[in-house]
Amino acid sequence: MIIALNKNQKYVRATDATKKQQFVCPGCNEKVILKSGDIKQKHFAHYAQSTCATFSENETTQHLAGKLQLATHLQQYGDVKIEAVIPEINQRPDILMARDNQRIAIEYQCSPISQKKIDQRNAGYESQHINVIWILGNNYHVKNMTQTTILKFLIRGNLTFYLPDIEKFVHRTHFKKYDFERVRYIEKYSHHLFEMITSDNVVHSDIKKHIYKLQNLIIQKRVDEKLVRHLYQHNRRLLHAPLWIHQGSHFGLSIPNWQWRLLALLLIERIGVGNVIHQGILTDKLINYVLGDIIFKKQQAIKLINELAQQNYIVQKGQYILVQRMPTWYESMQQKLGKVRK
């Protein structure tokens, strides 16, 4: 391990320690010895008879250095402990922080982890009324993360990294995913864990490009055949669908935005003008195509329903939805392209 506690209960790096001092393990409070050599870097180690099972000596330098720096940064928010054991659930977060009569578990994740393990840890903390914040290391920051990976660690729309080399947090938020493009987001570097990020920038995508891309997919027969067949049976062509289906930027979908929005329009048509449906029924149908936890799924579905209302396709009345008008389909692709704003 590269960190330990001195007699004043302060975290000390092995590189800053001397053998004249006494140190204990942050996890079990057993005495540790400072070691150094020509090959291995300076580090702390348990004595041979140690029974420590809470503090790993095989963690990467990045992980341990990050935990030490995080503990130092987070002291401004409250009492901080590294690798504190929570006996009721047999879990030990990287950092346990007490703030405003609330315990917060900080998990500093530098290596891959399954959704199952994340869910298990989160459930354990929740059972003890402990909030949890997942902070990612540099390995995640430098990668082009998939939507599935992002959603593993997303908390209230925010993704947080900590980079020990520059000793800064990186906050990503306002995630968007236009069809045929990579995930977009706003990124901010900061010295603070808790950071508010606002954005007034409205970024649009190239609608014509999206239409031509979809045309190529149809030619290559890479579009759901059942959907194409359904439209054909109703004397419609996919490329003649309303422009609105190409304007989506919802993040976290299991299908393209255009397909999700088209399905929403087909659901509205099935209900029929002048008819009413409970919002919960429509929401339940839409969330089948959203990744993430149930809260995130419902948030995305409600956003789409609000967009339908903005287009005057529907009118929301409390928990009910009235279908107000049908979307306009185009007679040709050329007519549709002519309606694209330049």
Given strand 320-323, what is the order of strands in its sheet?
Answer: 276-278, 320-323, 314-317
Q: What is residue 335's predicted lDDT score, i.e. its pLDDT? A: 95
Which one is predicted more confidently, 255 or 24?
255
Convert the pLDDT of each residue in 180-198 to its tens digit: 999 999 999 999 998 888 8
Per-residue pLDDT, 318: 93
Q: Which band of pLDDT confidence, cut at 50, 70 and 90, is reported for residue 256?
A: very high
The band of 20, judged by pLDDT with boundaries at 50, 70 and 90, is confident
| Percentage of residues in the chain having pLDDT higher than 90 | 70
5-15: average pLDDT: 82
Instruction: Judge whether 212 and 225 are in contact, CB under 8 Å.
Output: no
Closest among 112, 116, 154 to 132, alpha carbons compared: 154
Please give the model's pTM, rounded to 2 decimal places. Answer: 0.82
More confident residue, 106 or 75: 106
Going from N- to C-terminal start, the domains of the chain cover 59-190, 207-338
pLDDT-based confidence at 294, cuts 50/70/90?
Answer: very high
pLDDT at res. 202: 66
280 token code pair: 């919960």
- Calculate the average pLDDT of the chain: 90
Give the pLDDT of residue 46.
85
- Out of 136-150, 208-222, 294-308, 328-342, pick the least confident: 328-342
Q: What are the tens digits of pLDDT across the range 150-179?
A: 999 998 899 999 999 999 999 999 999 999
Residue-level pLDDT at 231: 96
Closest by CA to 336, choosing from 183, 208, 204, 158, is 208
Match domain 207-338 to its CATH number in 1.10.10.10, 3.30.470.20, 2.40.50.140, 3.40.50.150.
Answer: 1.10.10.10
Helix axes 294-310 and 257-271, enclosed angle (nearest 10): 70
What top-level class would CATH report for the domain 59-190? alpha beta
- What pLDDT is stored for residue 237 in this prediction? 96
Query: For residue 159, which phi and psi values (nearest 5 degrees)?
Result: -125, 130
Q: What percent of the chain has pLDDT over 70?
A: 94
Q: Are 309 and 315 in contact (CB under 8 A)?
A: yes
Q: What is the pLDDT of residues 24-81, one digit of tens each?
A: 887 678 899 998 766 567 888 888 877 775 555 556 667 877 888 898 889 888 899 8
Mean pLDDT over 281-297 rounds to 96
Confidence (pLDDT) at 55: 57
Q: CA-CA distance, 23 to 283, in Å (whole number)?
A: 57
